[in-house]
Amino acid sequence: MLLAVDVGNSHTTVGVFSKSSLVCELRLSTRRGWTRDEFAVALRQTLALGSLDFDDLDDAIVACVVPPALDPLCDALTHYAKVNPLVVGPGIKTGMPIRYEPPQDVGADRIVTAVAAWDRHGGGNRDADAGKGVIVVDFGTATTFDVVAPGPEYLGGVIAPGIGISADALFARAARLPRVDMRRPASVVGRNTEAAIQSGLVYGYIGQVEGLVRRILDEVPWSGTVVATGGFAGTIATESDVIDIVDDALVLEGLLLLHTRNRPTKTAR
pLDDT per residue as tens, the chain (269 positions) = 999 999 999 899 999 999 889 998 988 889 888 899 999 999 999 899 889 999 999 999 999 999 999 999 999 999 999 999 999 998 899 999 999 999 999 999 999 999 999 999 988 777 777 788 999 999 988 999 999 999 899 999 999 999 888 888 888 888 888 888 878 888 899 989 999 999 998 899 999 999 999 999 999 999 999 999 988 888 888 888 899 999 999 999 999 999 999 998 877 66
* Model pLDDT, residue 268: 65
> Do 5 and 61 touch, CB atoms closer than 8 A?
yes
> Do 83 and 58 touch, CB atoms closer than 8 A?
yes
Domain parsing of the chain, residue ranges:
2-87, 103-253
Catalytic residue flag (residue 58): no
Q: Is it true that 2-87 and 103-253 share their CATH fold?
A: yes
Give every strand in the sheet of 224-230, ordered side by side: 153-161, 142-149, 133-139, 224-230, 245-246
The active-site residue out of 109, 119, 146, 247 is 109
* Model pLDDT, residue 146: 97
b/e for 84-95, b at 16 or more Cβ within 10 A? ebbbbeeebebe
**Which CATH code, of 3.10.100.10, 1.10.510.10, 3.40.1530.20, 3.30.420.40, is assigned to 103-253?**
3.30.420.40
* Model pLDDT, residue 119: 93
> Do 2 and 61 touch, CB atoms closer than 8 A?
yes
CATH topology of domain 2-87: Nucleotidyltransferase; domain 5 (3.30.420)
